[in-house]
Amino acid sequence: MSDPTDKAPDASTAPVSDSADTAEIINFPGKAATPEQELKSSERRWGKPVMKYGFHQFPALLFEAQNRLQLGPVQFNLLLQILSWWWRADDLPFPALATIADRMGMSERQVRRVIRELEANKLIKHVPRKTSHGQRSNYYDPSGVVERLKVLEPEFSKERKARREARKLLESVRARRKAKFSA
C-alpha cells in the first residue's frame, strides 16, 4: 500500500511501459477546457456545423495577387471554383460546367467564356477528358496559376518585409514622442 502523502509522478518520472498494449495517461494540472475553448478557431468563427460541412485551402498569395494576376472578380471566383475541386497535387480537377454555372448563378456559356479568359491569361489549361463512354467534363490544369504565384512570391515577401519594417520604425518614433511628451 502506498503512502497517501506521496506525490503523483510527473511526466519525467512516470514509469513507461515497454508493452505496446498499455500506456499510462498523465493528467496535467490546470483548468478543464470549456466546450467553447475546445472548438477550433475556425469553428468559433464560423460555427461547428458550417466547418463540419467542409472547407478548402488556398494560399493567401492567391488572394493578395489577384490584381497582379489580372483577375477580375468573376474570373477570380471561377478560378476558386475550379481550384476547390483540386484535392491532390497529382489529380487534376474536373468539375462539370453545369456545376460551376449553378454555383455562380451563370449560364454554362458564360462559364466557358470566363474559362477561355483564364486560359488566355495562361492561368489554367483545359484538358479534354474522354472515356469509353465519350467526352466527359474537362480536366483543368492549374499549373499556370501555381507557377505565376511562385514567381510573384519573392516580390510579395519583399514588399511585406518592407511594410513590417516601416511599421516598426513608425511605432518606435511614436513611442519616442510619447515618452518625450510624458516626461
Q: Is 108 or 21 the better-scoring residue by pLDDT?
A: 108
User: For residue 13, is pLDDT > 90?
Assistant: no
Q: What is the domain-level CATH number for residue 109?
A: 1.10.10.10
User: For residue 10, is pLDDT > 60?
Assistant: no
Residue at 168 is within a domain: no
User: For residue 1, is pLDDT > 70?
Assistant: no
User: For residue 2, is pLDDT > 50?
Assistant: no
Q: What is the structure's pLDDT at 31?
A: 66
- Place 141 in a pLDDT band, splitting at 50, 70 and 90: very high
Grid cell at residue 93: 480537377
Alpha-helical regions (H) of 84-142:
97-104, 108-120
Mean per-residue pLDDT, 93-113: 97
Mean per-residue pLDDT, 7-22: 49
Q: How many CA atoms lie within 13 A of 121 on its CB side?
A: 22
- Would strands 125-131 and 134-141 be described as parallel, antiparallel, or unpaired? antiparallel
Residue at 77 is within a domain: yes
Closest C-alpha to 94, from 143, 50, 128: 128
Q: Is 104 or 133 the better-scoring residue by pLDDT?
A: 104
User: For residue 155, is pLDDT > 80?
Assistant: yes
Q: What is the structure's pLDDT at 180?
A: 78
H or E stretch covering 127 = strand 125-131
Residue at 107 is within a domain: yes
Alpha carbon distance 95, 139 (integer Å): 8
Q: Is 127 or 17 the better-scoring residue by pLDDT?
A: 127
Residue at 55 is within a domain: no
Residue at 120 is within a domain: yes
Output the CA torsion sign for 75, 81, 84, 88. negative
- Place 137 in a pLDDT band, splitting at 50, 70 and 90: confident
Residue at 29 is within a domain: no
- Place 36 in a pLDDT band, splitting at 50, 70 and 90: low
Residue at 126 is within a domain: yes
Residue at 129 is within a domain: yes
User: For residue 83, is pLDDT > 80?
Assistant: yes
Mean per-residue pLDDT, 28-46: 74
Q: How many domains does the chain have?
A: 1
Provide the domain limits for residue 70: 60-144
